[in-house]
Amino acid sequence: MVEVLDKPLPKPSEESYVEARLLEALVEARLALRFLREGIARNAAGKAFQAWKALLAALLRLELESLKALAKTEEEKKWLETTAISRVPTTKMKTLSNMLEDIGHAGLAFATSAALDLHDYQYHGPDPDTALSKYATREEAAADIVRLVAEVAKRVEALKSRVKWNDELEKAVEEVKKALPKR
- Give pLDDT tens digits for 88-104: 999 999 999 999 999 99
Question: Terminus-to-terminus CA distance in the chain, angstroms?
Answer: 26
The structure's pTM equals 0.96
Q: What is the pLDDT of residue 182?
A: 86
CA-to-CA distance for 132 and 74, rounded, in angstroms? Answer: 37
Q: What is the pLDDT of residue 1?
A: 61
Q: What is the pLDDT of residue 7?
A: 79
Q: What is the pLDDT of residue 56?
A: 98
Element of type H or E holding 155: helix 138-158
Quote the Cα angle for 22-24-29, to 5°: 95
Q: What is the pLDDT of residue 2?
A: 60
- Residue 81 · residue 51 · CB < 8 Å: no
Residue 183 above 80 pLDDT? no
Mean local confidence (pLDDT), 42-54: 98
CA-to-CA distance for 128 and 1, rounded, in angstroms? Answer: 37
Mean local confidence (pLDDT), 110-121: 98
Q: Exposed, middle or buried: residue 79 (CB in 10 Å: 0-12, 13-18, 19+)?
A: middle
In this predicted model, what pLDDT tens digit does every residue of 6-33 receive, in sequence order?
Answer: 778 899 989 899 999 999 999 999 999 9
Count of CA atoms in the C-beta half-sphere (13 A) of 65:
1
Q: What is the pLDDT of residue 96?
A: 98
Residues 6+ apart with CB under 8 A from 78: none
Top-confidence residue, 9 or 153 = 153
When the pLDDT of each residue in the chain is averaged and rounded to a whole number, the result is: 95
